[in-house]
Amino acid sequence: MPPYQGGGDMIRSVSFEKTIYNDLPYKFEAGTPHIAGVIGLGVAIDYISSIGLDRIEAYEQELLKYGTEKLLQIPDLRLIGTAKHKSAILSFVLGEAHAHDIGTILDRQGIAIRAGHHCAMPVMERFNVPATTRASLAFYNTREEIDRLVAALHEVTEVFR
């Protein structure tokens, strides 16, 4: 396979007659590699390990339970995806409000969610759900933030009444 780009380290020797490329993986890693990224990844792995994946998962599941209970109290909110064992994400539709309108209203409150078909067009078409709003919870999120999400969703309902 020929190299897809040229640059430092991907060459062994060059003359007018011929070019010899370096061994793999260097042949495909022209130029300065993403050194800062590699160091950052190492630090991130150390950080996650220092907390512990088990603890992170337990906390996220606790948040998920709390968020699920809170969201289900909102009138006309329907959770999409209610598997017993699932990651800490809350996907939902809310009354007549379109996911992108919800997204704009939440954004103005500093709440970042994902809206749309989540790279799952065929299954969403199958169940006739044009778009959902999805809040993803991570170990740095808090119960207070879920309360803020719920308050903002009440505002959405207010706008779309």
Residues known to be catalytic:
119
Residue window 140-159: x/- pattern of binding to other proteins, with contact defined by CB under 8 A: ---------------x--xx
Please identify, using beta-carbon distances, which residue of 48 and 151 lies nearer to other proteins. 151
Please identify, using beta-carbon distances, which residue of 12 and 108 lies nearer to other proteins. 108
Q: Given the rule CB under 8 A, which of 9-17, 45-53, 60-68, 90-98 is the region that contacts other proteins?
A: 90-98
Beta strands in the chain (DSSP E): 11-14, 19-21, 77-80, 89-94, 114-116, 132-136
The secondary structure of 34-81 as a DSSP string is: -HHHHHHHHHHHHHHHHH-HHHHHHHHHHHHHHHHHHHHTSTTEEEE-
Rule CB under 8 A: which residues touch other proteins? 96-101, 104-105, 108-109, 115-117, 130-131, 155, 158-160
